[in-house]
Structure 1
Amino acid sequence: MDSNFLAFGITCYLVLLVSTVLHEAAHAYVAMKFGDLTAYYGGQVSLNPMPHIEREPVGLVAVPIICYFLGGAPLGWASAPYNVAWADRYPKRSALMALAGPLANLFLAISAYTIIMFGLHDGWLTHPQRVSGGLIGLTQFTSPVAEDSHIMIGVATTLSIFFSLNVLLFIFNLIPVPPLDGSSIIKLFMSEDMARRYQVVAWTPINSLIGLMIALSVYNFHIAKYLSWFVLKVLYPDIEYS
């Protein structure tokens, strides 16, 4: 097995783990603040990955590893439990809980971008000569190159993955179909009564399954390509693309 392939996969997985844990911890924290202690008692109001892994071992461990070795990005999922009765009683609060997850990913993306831009400006990072991008290869080819230092190359790669992966997670989770966060966020723009009725209809197992299939289809065929090139353009506006 190629050592670079393995090292890159481990880096991607660790970034995915941190990003997903912060996403779910943000859900859990906001729910706790608004009166639902379900995730708090489950241990999800924490940046410790173990409670999140214990809740979703398939989504946070098995699936990312399998996806990567099958030639894709190590993507997975996790979830924070919540009280359905609380969400029905306070639909706007549950919408804010849903919004907290994508905002956590946006925070990580902005943080990584800021550090990358500082590094480029300050000279301890340099632009690559050429970049390539796509749905699968996005994070693999967007690293600023830190000259003469394997450690700094690793730092640059990690920062790039943090930026591109969290942009991906932020946009994908905003798609307004269940079970994604975007389907709950839209309740912020409804009346309390309408939000309750919408929640009953939207959040059923069959609708969640159909919604996830629609979201993946829309993302893969209409969003991913343009999002990949947008990320590359933001990072490296003046260099050659392939």
Structure 2
Amino acid sequence: MEWVLSFVAVVVAIILHEIAHGYAALALGDDTAKRMGRLSLNPLVHVDRVGTIIVPGLFLIAQALARTGGGVFFGWAKPVPIDIRRLPNPRRSMALVALAGPLMNYALAFLALLLLHATPLLPWEPRLWAIGFLAFFLMANLALGTFNLLPIPPLDGGRIAVGVLPERLAIAWAGMERAGIAVVLLVVFLLPAALAEFGIGFDPLRWWLHGIADPIFRFLAALAGHPRDLVIVLRFLDGDGGG
């Protein structure tokens, strides 16, 4: 049942991440996503069969079979349509639109931390399920938001980089967009797994997540009034399953 909670948490995090892009574009003057019905909370309009269902499902099933309490969450929804011609200062505006996705995930992580305060009001068994789901939801949003900040196009971090770099460098960086996902899959997922077979520790994603997600988690936990009692969740983020 835990992997079902994990799967639901990941899918919700992915879909709301994408909706945030659409609302950011709308605020900046592009109503394309709104006109095409992509600002809806109906998950069906955002689901990408591969990115939202199959890929996250495979990651979570693999973690369930390996009996790990935490791990990598990877997936995507159908990108919201954005007409860059409707945006003022397109390069800067696209950076803001890109930033909206990770910010949504961090806001959802903070919401999960706040809702943990309410779990003692529930009967014992529902309380356990609620805590479990909120922990998964917290981890999924921290991981998804931070992963997307990797400065590689077409990830959000790559588009933010394109928006803030000098124009010449930005054009060159944007040219990575077509190969970006292949680079991510190779360097972040496949290469570490291959090197691990030879006893070589190379895990740039874990280094990135710890460098960014850990301090954000500590800040949000303190802001939500959990300065000390969420060590177990932090250990899940560290990948040791809390054991």
Q: Is the 8 A contact 1:38 1:82 kept in 2?
A: yes
Query: Among 166, 169, 179, which residue is 1:206 paired with?
Result: 179
Quick one: distance in 1 between partners of 2:93 and 2:183?
25
Q: Is the 8 A contact 2:28 2:87 kept in 1?
A: no
* Gapped regions of structure 2 (runs ≥ 5): 65-70, 193-202, 219-226, 236-241
- 2:51 is matched with which residue? 59
**Matched-pair identity in %:** 26
Quick one: distance in 2 between partners of 1:65 and 1:22?
18
* Gapped regions of structure 1 (runs ≥ 5): 1-6, 126-145
Q: Partner of 2:60: helix, strand, or coil?
A: helix
Q: Is the 8 A contact 1:178 1:211 kept in 2?
A: no
Whether 1:68 and 2:60 are equivalent positions in the alignment is: yes
Quick one: distance in 2 between partners of 1:164 and 1:196?
32
Number of aligned positions between the proteins: 207
Q: Partner of 1:93: helix, strand, or coil?
A: helix
- 2:23 is matched with which residue? 29
Matches within 5 A, 1:79-118: 79-83=79-83, 90-116=90-116, 118=117
Q: Is the alpha carbon distance of 1:30 and 1:154 closer, same or farther for their aligned partners in structure 2, counting shifts above 3 Å?
A: same
Q: Is the 8 A contact 2:3 2:60 kept in 1?
A: yes
Give the superposition deviation at 1:176.
Answer: 0.6
- 1:141 is matched with which residue? none
- 1:77 is matched with which residue? 76
Q: What is the TM-score when the length of structure 1 is the normalising length?
A: 0.70
Matches within 5 A, 1:224-239: 224=209, 236-237=230-231
Give the superposition deviation at 1:226.
Answer: 7.1
Q: Which moved more, 1:162-171 or 1:86-95?
A: 86-95
Give the superposition deviation at 1:197.
Answer: 2.4
Whether 1:149 and 2:124 are equivalent positions in the alignment is: yes
Give the superposition deviation at 1:34.
Answer: 1.9
Quick one: distance in 2 between partners of 1:60 and 1:45?
17
Give the superposition deviation at 1:163.
Answer: 1.2
Aligned Cα RMSD in Å? Answer: 3.5
Give the superposition deviation at 1:83.
Answer: 3.1
Q: Is the alpha carbon distance of 1:211 and 1:11 closer, same or farther for their aligned partners in structure 2, counting shifts above 3 Å?
A: closer
Q: What is the TM-score when the length of structure 2 is the normalising length?
A: 0.69
Deviations 1:109-157 (A, max 9, x none): 11111232x348xxx18xxxxxxxxxxxxxxxxxxxx8x6211111111
Q: Is the alpha carbon distance of 1:200 and 1:160 closer, same or farther for their aligned partners in structure 2, counting shifts above 3 Å?
A: closer
The one-letter code sitting in structure 2 at the alignment partner of 1:76 is G
Whether 1:197 and 2:171 are equivalent positions in the alignment is: yes
